[in-house]
Structure 1
Amino acid sequence: MGAQQKIAIVGAGLGGAAAATLLQQAGFDVTVYEQSPEFSRLGAGIHVGPNVMKVFRRMGLEQPLEQMGSHPDFWHSRDGLSGDYLSRIPLGEFARREYGAAYVTVHRGDMHDLQINSIAPGTLQFGKKLETIVDEGDQVRLTFTDGSQATADIVIGADGIHSKIREELLGAEAPIYSGWVAHRALIRGENLVRHADVFEPCVKWWTDDRHMMVYHTTAKRDEYYFVTGVPHEAWDFQGNYVDSSQEEMLAAFEGYHPTVQKLIRSTEDITKWPLRNRNPLPLWSRGRLVLLGDACHPMKPHMAQGAGMAIEDAAMLTRCLQETGLTDYRTAFELYEANRKERASRVQAVSNANTFLRTQEDPAWVYGYDVYAQPLKSGVAA
């Protein structure tokens, strides 16, 4: 693996950051180009299932992630109106024993910071918004809006649902508005104290057409986060999100259990995000360009596995490039798609259907999966 051969990763989100660390640990020369000028601790939580923790183990980040996160003993699903329990999915020690790693809920910004700090110093460049990308046959040329250029032997598009790399492969096409929005709020512990007896560590409240997922984001359990899925008429304004309010949420969850009402009244700031997705893509790579994560298979967040699939992608793509070497990137990309498409598409479909763990089911197909234990299926040339 010659040092002259370079990998460029476009996007330093959770998937791109994982790919950078894993590829660098495997000995590849990697530079990451991120359009944001910097990252901040934005108010969002994330579930990290045992399937994902096994990848963090490889990165050497499992222990610090465990220490910063909350460890729920169960995923509880409850009827939004009556509060009756629909399922109690065991996590905690059960997950360690049965699935091979912990189940953690954590602040997305804290986890991302851990990942960013694991990328080799000097190899992550901020403020690099991709303007054009040209596969010149023997290399790829990237031009950024600041006027700078870079070249690489392969380029990994980890640049999200609005991926410029996906656009280069398949043409410009806006993602599909799903008809749903997600309200998000991060609630400080002092606002929860008076209701502490009813706020469970990990619970999803459901009715037929909407839900609210709630969980702690720190080991101290001094932050409580919720994300909803609520039907909403066509999204007709710009940007990733807009401000919402207690009034709007109380209307959306009218008639819901008193605990949900208390939770909404405990909030200070609520935002509202359109949920967008895409149909499964006809190809994941072409030439020297390859996609992962939301650039490749965006999904509604209802299964708490979107970032997990991006991180699994990063691990499998690294495996495949190690298998073939960078000079035979075509075979590596075929292997990668052959070993990821079925699983990612299944998770995408189940997530979009919003049925996962509503009833007492066995989630071993998700959590028990180990990307490193899978025998590599041979790729089929496109």
Structure 2
Amino acid sequence: MSDTATREGPLDIAIVGSGIVGVVLAVGLIRQKIKVKVYEQAQGFREIGAAWHLPPTQGNRLEQADQSRLQAGDEQIQINDYLRWIDGHITRKDDPSIRKMLFKIDAGYKGFEGCRRDRFLEELVKILPADVIQCRKRLDTLEEKEGGGKIRLIFCDGTTAEADAVIGCDGIKSRVREIILGEGNPASYAHYTHKIAYRGLIPMAKAIEVLGEYKARNQHIHVGPNAHLIHYPVANQTMINATAFVSDPEEWPDDKRTVAPAIRKDVEDAFEGWSPCVRGLVSQLPEKLDKWAVFDLWDYPAPFYNRGKICLAGDAAHASSPHHGAGACMGIEDVLCLCTLMGEARVLIQKAPTIRDQALISVFDTFNSVRRTRSQWLVNSSRRVCDLYHQPEWADPAKWVKAETCFEEIKDRSHKIWHFDYNVMLQEATQGYKQSLEALIGAVSGL
């Protein structure tokens, strides 16, 4: 088939990466009647068994991107109504078991809806046609033809594929980002935040023994100098997911391997001198566990998310540290924007196949313009929030008042995530897209 004939066929999009953002994007594009293939380098799906939470109003955004979200996840959804911060360090001499509630923020109706990432993804994948996702396809490079036309994807196993456009949803270690920004460019790679995460699942009965019924069954963040610990219920309140974040002044030895073996004593040493309930919870972690180096794209942010008909979305574009708990959900906002713009492009291309390339380039130009500022703000804000959690003032009662003033700032930052008007974003994106093509559309008869 000639290239001209191919370009008059259905719009064909390649997605690199089958994490939550990649799969939700695939579902959303298919619902826009766009042909999609997802290429995943692993043998199975990308997400590990950690929990994730939808911040307030984010559930609506996910439903907007994919109306089948309810059938794909609601059996796993659990709700937390507040964000709560507790002093995890200073102990009252008269009663060490008493912990001061420092601040809480009402998350509103439905609050934070949480589930395990892998289970959510497994259910979501069931919505897709069986041939959409191809595993064991590690991307080597992309070839763009002079004068436009299909992009060629070349995989490390020697096989190839073609698509009208490519969207990289391949996460923090994105190969697509490296292709767009250039090998050797520091913005092509994630960098160490000097924070280590220790994570484990603890049976609810054990958690209740050390935290009490209320704290165990509700989300809490225990803050203190150079560390914090967050926990919340999962698995229908039968377990809690506990994650301890610890500051690390050293460099991480190998940026290719961000997970290393650890033992519980490493965590116990980091929380030495903290409150009995924090130390008690740490004592329930497994004797052997992993430590996760927290990397992000803060040091060298991507100056742009697109090049021609190649684009980045989700962590591939703006991987943040996890301290807002909104990284994946920022990716869902990306999906909503991309699906809306791709729907506009499909209609235009059906009417005038000759503008296919420019219509797709304008989709990604508009996406970059609309999404980059907000998503890069999240990368910065997540760093800032962790700094506030770990501030040294928590160790000094004389500076406690100063330390506590941080929560109004945290509240404002949280509300900027939660109360984002995605309808305004979509209106801005749609108008910007149409304006970018006005001259071209005017030159095409019949539009």
TM-score by length of 2: 0.78
Matched, 1:180 2:201: no
In the alignment, which residue of structure 2 is the partner of 1:18?
Answer: 24
Shift of residue 40, structure 1, vs aligned partner: 8.0
Q: Which moved more, 1:353-362 or 1:284-293?
A: 353-362
Gap runs ≥5 in structure 1: 97-101
Name which of 142, 150, 167 aligns with 1:156: 167
**Once superposed, what is the RMSD of the aligned Cα atoms?**
2.3
Aligned length: 373
Q: Separation in 2 of the partners of 1:205 and 1:3?
A: 56
In the alignment, does 2:299 pair up with 1:287?
Answer: no
Which amino acid is the alignment partner of residue 65 of structure 1?
G
CA shift, 1:179, in A, is 1.4
| Structure number having the greater helix percentage | 2
* Number of the residue aligned with 1:76: 84
Q: CA deviation at 1:147?
A: 2.1
Contact 2:18 2:45 in 1 (8 A): no
Q: Secondary structure of the residue that 2:422 maps to in structure 1?
A: coil
Partners of 2:192 and 2:251 within 8 A in 1: yes
Query: Deviation at 1:64?
Result: 4.9
CA distance in 1, matches of 2:175, 2:230: 31
Matches of 2:71 and 2:44, distance apart in 1: 26
Alpha-carbon distance in 1 for matches of 2:129, 2:13: 14
- Alignment check: 8 A CA contact 2:195 2:245 kept: yes
- 1:1-382 to structure 2, matched below 5 A, reads 3-39=9-45, 42-58=48-64, 59=66, 60-62=68-70, 64-82=72-90, 83-91=99-107, 94-96=108-110, 102-136=111-145, 137-172=148-183, 173=186, 174-195=189-210, 196-197=212-213, 198-218=215-235, 220-232=236-248, 233-237=250-254, 238-268=256-286, 269-278=288-297, 279-325=300-346, 327=356, 328-354=359-385, 359-360=407-408, 361-362=411-412, 363-374=414-425, 375-377=427-429, 378=432
1:67 positional shift:
3.2
The 1-side partners of 2:271 and 2:70 are apart by 37
Q: Which is worse superposed, 75-84 or 60-69? A: 60-69
Residues 263-283 of structure 1, C-alpha deviations (whole Å, 9 max, x = no match): 111122532111112222111
CA–CA separation in structure 1 for the residues paired with 2:321 and 2:46:
23
CA distance in 2, matches of 1:277, 1:86: 28
Looking at structure 2, the residues matched to 2 and 26 of structure 1 have their Cα atoms a distance apart, in angstroms, of 17
Q: Which runs of 4+ in 1 moved over 4 A?
A: 355-358
- The answer on whether the counterparts of 2:17 and 2:39 sit within 8 Å (CA) in structure 1 is yes
Higher relative contact order (CA 8 A, sep 6+): 1
Q: Is the 8 A contact 1:51 1:370 kept in 2?
A: no
Q: Distance in 2 between matches of 1:125 and 1:370?
A: 35
Q: Give, in angstroms, the shift of residue 63 of structure 1.
A: 5.7
Q: Secondary structure at the match of 1:347?
A: helix
Return the alpha-carbon distance in structure 2 between the equivalents of residues 71 and 264 of structure 1: 24
Displacement of 1:53: 0.9
How big is the shift at 1:370? Answer: 4.2
Deviation at 1:69, TM superposition (A): 2.3
Larger CA deviation: 152-161 vs 182-191: 182-191
1:99 matched to which residue of 2? none
Give yes or no for contact 1:43–1:185 (8 Å, CA) kept in 2.
no
Deviations 1:132-158 (A, max 9, x none): 211223111111122211000000000
Contact 1:24–1:120 at 8 Å: present in 2 too?
no
TM-score (norm 1): 0.90
Q: Distance in 2 between matches of 1:53 and 1:24?
A: 20
The amino acid across from 1:281 in the alignment is A
Structure 2, unmatched stretches of 5+, are 1-6, 91-98, 350-355, 390-405, 437-447
CA distance in 1, matches of 2:321, 2:234: 20
Q: 1:270 to 1:89 in 2, by over 3 A?
A: farther
Asked if the contact 2:72/2:120 (under 8 Å) is kept, the reply is no
Q: Secondary structure at the match of 1:22?
A: helix
The alignment partner of 1:359 has SS state of: helix
Does the Cα contact within 8 Å between 1:36 and 1:129 map onto a contact in 2? yes
Q: Which moved more, 1:47-56 or 1:335-344?
A: 47-56
Alignment partners' CA distance in 2, 1:261 and 1:182: 16
Range that drifts further, 131-140 or 359-368: 359-368
Conservation of the 8 A alpha-carbon contact between 2:260 and 2:292: yes
> 2:76 touches 2:114 (CA, 8 Å); kept in 1?
no
Tell me the secondary structure at the aligned position of residue 67 of structure 1. coil
**Structure whose alpha-carbon radius of gyration is higher:** 2
Give yes or no for contact 1:300–1:351 (8 Å, CA) kept in 2: yes
C-alpha deviation, 1:55, in angstroms:
2.7
In the aligned structure 2, how far is the partner of 1:74 from the partner of 1:370? 21
Structure 2 letter corresponding to 1:304 = G
State the distance in 1 between where 2:368 and 2:343 align: 15
The 1-side partners of 2:316 and 2:198 are apart by: 23
Secondary structure at the residue paired with 1:39?
A: coil
| Worse-superposed segment, 359-368 or 119-128 | 359-368
